[in-house]
Each structure stands twice: as C-alpha cells, then as structure tokens.
C-alpha cells in the first residue's frame, strides 16, 4: 500500500516479516522506527560496507520524523512466497559463504563505547556482533544474483556458532513440519556448514547448540505470552510457539544424524 507524505515521495508499507510495524519504503530508502540500539546498528552496517561486505543496507542516519533511514536493497524477498529460491545446493552454498564473510567482517568491528544493543535472546557467549535472526524471512535475492541480509534491529554481541545454529534451522531447514522440510536435511546441513567452513571441534559444538538455539526461541515466545510482550505474545497466539517447540524436539532427537552428516 502506498500513501503520500504531504508533498514528498510516496511511501510504501513493507511487510513479509514478523515485526514490520512502521516500516516503509520511500524512493530508494527504507524508514523504520528508531530505538536506543539504532546508533550502534548503523555503526555496524557502516563498518561492514567499509570493509567490503556489501550484502547489507547502507545506513543513512535518522530522518526528520526520528526514523532510521537505510538504503533499499532491490530484489525478491525469499519468505514467505519464494522459499524455493533456497532449494539448490548452489543457493545454500552462497548463503553459507555469505554468513562466513559477514562474521569475518564483523570480527574487525569496534563498537562505539556507549553502544546499546537490543538483546532479545542472550547468547551463550560473546566475541563479536552477530545478526541473531539469520533466516529466510530476512534474506532478499538481489537482482545481481547474490543475497541481501536485512532487519538488523536485533544485532548484538554473540558468537559465530550461536548465529550459525539459528541459520541452520531456517535455511536447511531443520523442521518437523513436512510442508516446509526438504529432502535429506543432513546433507543440506553439510552443504551449508562446508560452505561456512568449520573444523571438526566446531562442528561438534554446533550440533550441541542447535537444539538449544531453537529452544531459546520457544522460550522467548512462551515468556512473551506470559507477560503480554509484543510481538512475541501475538506470535505465540498464532501458533509459532508450537512450531519452535516441535522443531526443537526434532533437532534434539536427531543429534546423531547431524553429527554423522557433518563429520566424515
């Protein structure tokens, strides 16, 4: 839906994710509500561009209405209608390499001394700034044949493996839902992790973390439902909690399968 802002370019409401209230496109920019974390997130995005990682929006400051301004990444949103774009091994390999490139670029980032981050789910450690929501609903297939990562509001201190465990859930995907799964998830997991590049010790640790990371999402929604905190309470009401709970059980029950797939 497009509306006019009294004499300026039309604004188009953007949707597709779980938290899109107030997110609009104006020309080649995206405007979204700012928060205490915005300055730190914009510093991260600026650093990523500075070191050559261009798969992310360019930060453009704050507009006259107090909204964060980002460059618009043209392309096709993967979720919910084009998840088939992730079917091929080539796509999964590109995603794995992109995540590694992002983590390597982020590892050289020095956050502002007064950085404030929106911590939704505490990590099991913290050695760099990670995305915390690497999933199909935050990926755009760009017109240049690459991928764009969007929705950086929950970027915060974390670890590579915690971020990668979440990515494995969404991109392989590791799911109990027969309408969402793809054939041979163990092999697809191997493709993703080979592309990222992990040694054997890290692969073993990743397998340990995968059910914990998915379970953390279940707990987030469950707690949100109990306290009435949005958007988690609505997501729980809509059944997302059940999905994360079943997926956690599915991943946990197949630990031996994931280890066999990842370790020769």
Residues in the chain, overall count: 264
Domains defined along the chain, listed by start? 2-71 (no CATH), 75-262 (1.10.510.10)
User: The pTM is what?
Assistant: 0.92
Q: How far apart are CA 262 and CA 264, in angstroms?
A: 7
| Span 19-71, pLDDT tens digits | 556 899 999 999 999 999 999 999 999 999 999 999 999 999 999 999 999 99
Given the structure tokens 């201190």, which residue do they identify?
Answer: 157
Q: What is the pLDDT of residues 58-111, one digit of tens each?
A: 999 999 999 999 999 999 999 999 999 999 999 999 999 999 999 999 999 999
Sheet order of strands, 2-4 included? 2-4, 10-13, 24-26, 29-33, 67-71, 59-62
The CA-atom distances, in angstroms, between 82 and each of 47, 139, 165, 244 are: 30, 11, 22, 21
| DSSP assigned state of 31 | E
- Beginning with the edge strand found earlier in the chain, give each strand of the sheet holding 139-142 in spatial order: 75-77, 139-142, 147-149
Kindly report, residue by residue over 185-210, the tens digit of the pLDDT. Answer: 999 999 999 999 999 999 999 999 99
């Amino acid at each position: 839906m497009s509306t006019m802002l009294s004499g300026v370019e039309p604004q188009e409401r953007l949707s597709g994710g779980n938290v899109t209230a107030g997110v609009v496109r104006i020309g080649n920019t995206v405007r979204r509500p700012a928060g205490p974390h915005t300055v730190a997130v914009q510093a991260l995005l600026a650093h990523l561009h500075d070191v050559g990682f261009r798969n992310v929006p360019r930060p453009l400051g704050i507009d006259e209405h107090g909204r964060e301004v980002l460059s618009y990444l043209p392309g096709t949103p993967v979720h919910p209608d084009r998840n088939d774009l992730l079917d091929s091994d080539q796509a999964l390999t590109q995603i794995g390499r992109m995540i590694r490139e992002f983590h390597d670029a982020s590892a050289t980032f020095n956050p502002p001394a007064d950085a404030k981050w929106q911590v939704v789910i505490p990590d099991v450690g913290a050695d760099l700034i990670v995305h915390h929501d690497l999933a199909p609903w935050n990926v755009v297939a760009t017109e240049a044949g690459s991928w764009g990562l969007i929705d950086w509001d929950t970027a915060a201190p974390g670890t590579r493996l915690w971020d990668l465990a979440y990515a494995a859930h969404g991109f392989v995907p590791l799911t109990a839902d027969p309408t969402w799964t793809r054939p041979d998830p163990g092999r697809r997991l191997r493709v993703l992790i080979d592309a990222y590049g992990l040694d054997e010790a890290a692969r073993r640790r990743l397998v340990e973390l995968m059910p914990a990371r998915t379970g953390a999402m279940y707990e987030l929604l469950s707690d949100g439902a109990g306290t009435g905190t949005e958007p988690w309470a609505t997501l729980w009401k809509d059944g997302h909690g059940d999905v994360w709970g079943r997926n956690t059980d599915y991943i946990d029950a197949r630990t031996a399968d994931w280890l066999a797939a990842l370790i020769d």
